[in-house]
Structure formats: structure tokens, C-alpha cells
Amino acid sequence: MMSRRLSVVTVPSETRTHCPYCAFQCGMVITSGKDVATTVRADPDFPVNRGQMCIKGFTSAALLDHAERITTPLVRNAQGRLEPASWDDALSRVIDGIRRIQETHGNDAVAAFGSGALTNEKAYLLGKFVRVALRSSQIDYNGRYCMASGAAGQNRAFGIDRGLPFPVSDIARTRTLVLWGSNAADTLPPLMQWITAQREGGESIVVDPRRTETARGATLHLQLTPGSDLALANGLLHLAIEQGLIDREYIDARTVGFDDVRRKVLEFPPSRVERITGVSASDMQRAIDLIAKSESAMLLSGRGPEQQSKGADTVSALCNLMLALGKVGKPYSGYGTLTGQGNGQGGREHGQKADQLPGYRLIERESDREAVAAVWGVAPETLPRKGRSAYELLDAMGRKGSDGVHGLLVFGSNVAVASPSSTSIEKKLAQLELLVVADAFLNETSAHAHVVLPVTQWAEETGTTTNFEGRVILRRKMRDAPAGPRSDLAILCDLAERLGAGDKFTTSAPEAVFEELGRATRGAMADYSGITHARIDREQGVFWPCPDASHPGTPRLFAERFHHSDGKARFVAVDHRAAGEEPDSTYPLWFTTGRYKEHYNSGAQTRRVGELVDAQPEPRVQVHPWLASRLGIGDGERLLVESRRGSVVFRIALSPDVRPDTLFAPFHWGGRHAANVLTNPALDPTSRMPEFKVCAVRARIDGGSSHLRVVR
């Protein structure tokens, strides 16, 4: 009998999962296998992106086997250099530092800084770790720089904060769409399929100081002065009231507080608003006609109006406008905020914020403390109270005595680049007694770290995120991590064990942690108790609130009632006020920041992907041709931009799309290209959002002397 040799064929495996970048959380399919190149394609069956994805998603797998990835813990030696260490040695150094600092300065001297990139399980466990194992009140996260004003404004108006209170598909069916301070074509490219579909049968308005790619396709572009969004919103409502365009029946039935708002906005006639905003009275009239007279209208805001020292009030003004027109809670109408980070929605729901516990419970509310303490197995009185917001926490680094932050644990955030007045933050990082960074790559923050802990990446672990619609989805593990890195969950459990709280952190399994999260949110505003990993897997995501296994989830909010106790929305009277810093004779120009399509947040990941770097190798400052002629400088030349906090040299990109009085640059770079060297840390009094979008600068040719034409 003859025998045949059988050849073994490796069959590539496919994993359906989600992109690690923005809050759209595109569905993707990853193909991988032994001796098979890993490929990524958009998932045609996921109902959010429907087979579309941006360049960042398509190149996301490039980081999994990147040569610069950290695979062993690093500790700083006596000579000041980071060197490899065992996990036991690295964690022992962390614990020794924590104990030394807390024994000397108190529990609150050690803080944690989280991230909107962490899964729900990680965000939840980090908040629990800080309050139960560290016994510190000092925790916040980079979402404070992103969604805090949108959350504050929505909570005041509606009693709840969910980025979109309706599915993304509703966008395509609204008759009038307003995008206020959002350049979705660059920041959320797959969203444009819904916007394009809407524009085919409806009208659209874009409010933005720049004529962006998104603005170019709109029916109407309102190119307002930076920082004047609140005045414009009040002015539009003034016109609606004056011309009888408000929905009085809706106002009486579903809201309270309108009379105070009416009195305030009557102080904003078109002539005054035109002087403040630069938007003509005729364009304001056209805008209010398009919004008020449509059978349906939707207003979506981005970071433009929100990243201001009056961002929460600006969001309130936008909510006031849509409530007065009767557009909230009706089919294909309403107000929403376009969340930025991958888990920006879930990240702010489950305990990373200084003032919150899981499920949007409030840490200062006794009933909320009792509910969570019961799940955690601790006495409510042992839970710390509210701590500092993100920038205030970082600003306290290096401060002497018990009022300072002397040790900081950073999970998934590059605070040295992402923070306003970033030079100041870098100096403060260098003053810490203990800086621990858990990340997959070294970055500008870990350059100051005493200990760096390598972590698994998104495709090497399972976990949930919540996209900008409030849809809880499942990122599925595609492969095992290389030897060395550990999950953030395992690191937190190990640290808790060493701190004597191991009995409260008995598992790092994502599904078990999510089950505990569900119990901690039962009965809360963001109730996840009816959601499981298995259910998400079956249903392509579940919208919260979902209080039990038989509940279908809640794709649409506000159809019948709002989330205040009486079921009614709240009008909030707000007044325009100057930015924390405005142009003057010394710093005569506006400076504002934003994003490139090819890069993401601080660029710690995307600046390592060759295809993305080739597409956008450096930040360029947009300068209007008129301003460039005043400066005596041309396209591609180098411009020195100075604020009261520092200076940056950018190469110029001449563009008529930016206002003549405004400079724009992306914030994805650190070091000598860091736009946030210039930005102002003035904080919103309600949301504690820094004023990233507005500051005053001056500009001149790099290397030029004082006799050259400097704009004054």
C-alpha cells in the first residue's frame, strides 16, 4: 500500500472586533494566522460604520508588532536611565514609593490619571483601585479635556449625559443638520456617510471659525470669531422668539425655566451678535429659518464650543435653542455631542472622574456611595470624597506638603502632550517622587517616569467600550500578547494585593469585572446591569440604560420624559463673556487647535505608523494669505508663534479657509512642535475644561529680528 504525505495548511482566522481609536468604534474584521500577514478591513455588517473606516483604522494593526513596543518593565536607575527589570522588582518599587509618599504626606498625595482609551472594565477597576486600595480621592482622566463641558451642559438641561441620545442612523433622516464646532470629515470620517445621506435630501449648517472640509459641503457656513459661540446661540434664540418661531406648547408641557432664558437672550439682538461673532445678521436669519421651520432638526456639537472656559454655558445655550424650538425628543431631531476618544462615553461613566462613581453615580451623594460600597464590600464612610479635576490634579504635582501630588500613576494617557500649557506640566512631572506609566510605548510622559509598565494592546484582550451613541460593544481578543506585557486589569489587581486590598480585587478576567460593573450600576442613571459580554456578542451592541436581561436597551432617549425627577428639561439662562485670554496689542491674534485626519490625540500611537507619518509628517500652522503678506512670509516657511506660556515654530500652510485674525494648528505632536505649549489652562467653572480652543498669540518669521513686520 502506498502512503501519501499530507501537507498542513494554515487557515487564517478572522476576528470581528472594533477600532482602537475614536468614539465611532468602527466594526472591523482582522485576518491573522501563522505565517500570514495580519490584515484589517471594515466590517460591512456593523450598523455604525457599515463597511467604512478611516486610514487610522486600516493601519491600526501596524502597532501590534511594532519594533518600539515595550515588552518588559523599565525602572529608572541611579544614573537616571530607564533599564529593564522584572515584574516583581518593578511592582515592588511602585509599592515602596506609594507607601513612602502616603506615610509622609497622606493618602491623597498619590493620584491616578486615566484615559478614554481604557475599556469599561479598566476604567471601572481603576476608579475602584484608587478609592479602595490607594484610599485616595485623587483620580481624573483625559476625558476631562474632551467631553466634560458637553456632559455638564447636557446634565443641566436633560438630567443625563449620553453623547448621542439617538442612534447615528437618525442623522441621515433629519431635515436640517447643524454641526457646531465639529470637522467630522477629518475627526470622524466614517460619520460622513450619514451626513452625506442627510445632505442629499435636507439642509445643513456648519458653525466653525475655519472653512473645513465639512463646512465646504454645507448649505450654510457660519464662520464665527473664536470663542463667540455662546453669543451666536443666544442670538439665534433671540431671533426665534422675536419672530414667533418657538414651540410654546412644547415649552409649557416639557420644560421649565424658559422665562429666565427669554429675558437673557433678548439682550442679544442681531446687531450686537454680529459685532461679537462676525456672523452677518442675514446669515443668522437664514440659519434660524433653516432650523426652526424644518419638520425635524438636529444639532451636534464638537470640541469647538466645548473646549472653552465657558464651554458648559455654551452647551447650555445650544440646548436652550433646540428646546425652545421643540426639537428635542422628537423623531430625527435633538441635540447631541460628538464624543472624541474611543471609550470617551464609557470612560466618563464608571468612576474615572473625580466626582463620579460607576453608572454616573455621584461620589458626594450618600445613597450613591452606599450602593457602590455594598458591591465593593467596604463601609461607605471609607470612600474618599471628590478630588481634583484633571488639570488641577496635574497642576498640584510638586506642590509642597500634604496639599501636593507627589506620586502619579498614569494609565493610557500622554499628559505631557495632551495638557494645556504643556511646558509647565512637563516641569511638574519631573518634580514627582514617583511617576508610574502603564503603556505599550514610551512617550513624552514616560520620559519622566520612574517605572514604566508594559501593557497588552487592544487586539490582545477582550473588553467592552461604549461608543458615542451609548451602544455598549465588545472588542474581541484576536491573539495572545507577546511574552512580557500584562493587562491593566492584572496590574491593578497585583498592586491591590500588595497594598493589602487583594480580597476586594479577586479577578482580572474582563467578563467577571464587567459583571461586577453591572452590579455596581444597577439602578443608576447609566445602568448596565442587563448587559453581558454574551449578549453584546449576539446583538451587535446594547444601548444603555438596560436594567435587566429582558430589557431591549434604550437607543433613543427623551421621547416621553427627560431624566430630571419631574420628567421635564431645564432651560438655563447663560450670558456671553470674554474668553480667559483675548487678543490685545501685544498678542494680537487668535490661536486655536484641532486634528488631522491621519493622527489621533497626542500622536503617541499614530506618529509611529509609517503610512500616517508619510501622509502628515509634521504639524503646519494654517495662515490666511492676507496675514502672511503682513508678516512677509510665504507657504512652507517657518513661523514662530508665541503666547504668554511659550513659543513654537511651525511650517506655514497658506489657506483662505482660516480667518485672517486666526492661526490654527493640530495638537498631535510634542516637543518643539507641541501646540499645547501655547494653549491657556483657564478652566470652565462648572466642567473644569481647559480653554484649548481660544488663546492669544503673536507671530513672526522664525529667526527674524525686531525690524521685520511683526503683527501687532
**Which class is domain 74-145+343-543?**
alpha beta
Which residues share a beta bridge with 651? Answer: 620, 638
Q: Which of 467, 468, 464 shows the shortest CA–CA distance to 536?
A: 464
Q: What is the rounded CA–CA span in Å between residue 227 and residue 590?
A: 9
For residue 32, name the pLDDT band (cuts at 50, 70, 90).
confident
Strand segments (E) across 505-594: 542-543, 569-570, 589-594
pLDDT score of 4 more than 50: no
pLDDT at 656: 97
Q: What is the pLDDT of residues 299-352, one digit of tens each?
A: 999 999 999 999 999 999 999 999 999 999 999 999 999 988 889 999 999 999
Q: Shortest CA distance to 64 belongs to which of 479, 468, 673? A: 479
Contact call for residues 292 and 245 (beta carbons, < 8 A) = yes
Where is 57: in which H helix or E strand?
A: helix 55-58
pLDDT value at position 709?
39
- Residue 281 neighbours by CB under 8 Å, 6+ apart: 270, 271, 273, 274
Domain range summary for the chain, segments of one domain joined by +: 13-63, 74-145+343-543, 148-337, 589-701
The pLDDT tens digits for 130-151 are 999 999 999 999 999 998 999 9
For range 405-424, the mean pLDDT: 96
d(CA 160, CA 151): 8
User: Across all residues in the chain, what is the average pLDDT?
Assistant: 95
pLDDT band at 11 (very low <50, low <70, confident <90, very high): low
pLDDT the model gives residue 6: 39
Given the candidates 2.60.120.260, 1.10.1040.50, 3.40.50.2300, 3.40.228.10, the CATH classification of the domain at 148-337 is 3.40.228.10
d(CA 169, CA 346): 20
- Residues 451-502 pLDDT 10s: 999 999 999 999 999 999 999 999 999 999 999 999 999 999 999 999 999 9
Q: What is the model's pLDDT at position 710?
A: 42
pLDDT at residue 590, rounded to an integer: 98
Answer whether 268's CB lies under 8 Å from 231's CB.
Answer: yes
Stronger pLDDT, 339 or 657, i.e. the higher one: 657
Q: Tell me the CATH number for domain 589-701.
A: 2.40.40.20
Res. 531: pLDDT tops 90: yes
Structure confidence by residue, pLDDT tens digits, 420-462: 999 999 999 999 999 999 999 999 999 999 999 999 999 999 9
**Looking at residue 33, what is its pLDDT?**
77
Tens of pLDDT, residue by residue over 582-593, are 999 999 999 999
DSSP reduced 3-state for 200: helix
For domain 13-63, the CATH architecture is: Single Sheet (2.20)
pLDDT at 7: 42
pLDDT at 680: 97
pLDDT over 80 at 242, yes or no:
yes
The H-assigned helical ranges of 80-175 are 87-105, 120-128, 148-158
Is pLDDT at 8 greater than 70 in this prediction?
no
> What pLDDT sits at residue 707?
27
Given pLDDT bands bounded at 50, 70 and 90, which one contains residue 178? very high
| Nearest CA-CA partner of 695 in 677, 712, 711, 710 | 677
The mean pLDDT of 630-656, rounded to a whole number, is 96
| % residues pLDDT > 70 (the chain) | 97
- Measure CA of the first residue to CA of the last residue in the chain; give whole Å: 95
- The three cell numbers locating residue 120: 469599561
Residue 2 φ/ψ, nearest 5 degrees:
-90, 145
**The whole model's pTM is what?**
0.95
In whole angstroms, what is the distance from residue 248 CA to residue 254 CA?
10
Residue 10 predicted with pLDDT over 60: no
| The pLDDT of residue 36 | 73
How confident is the model at residue 704, as a pLDDT? 59
pLDDT band at 401 (very low <50, low <70, confident <90, very high): confident
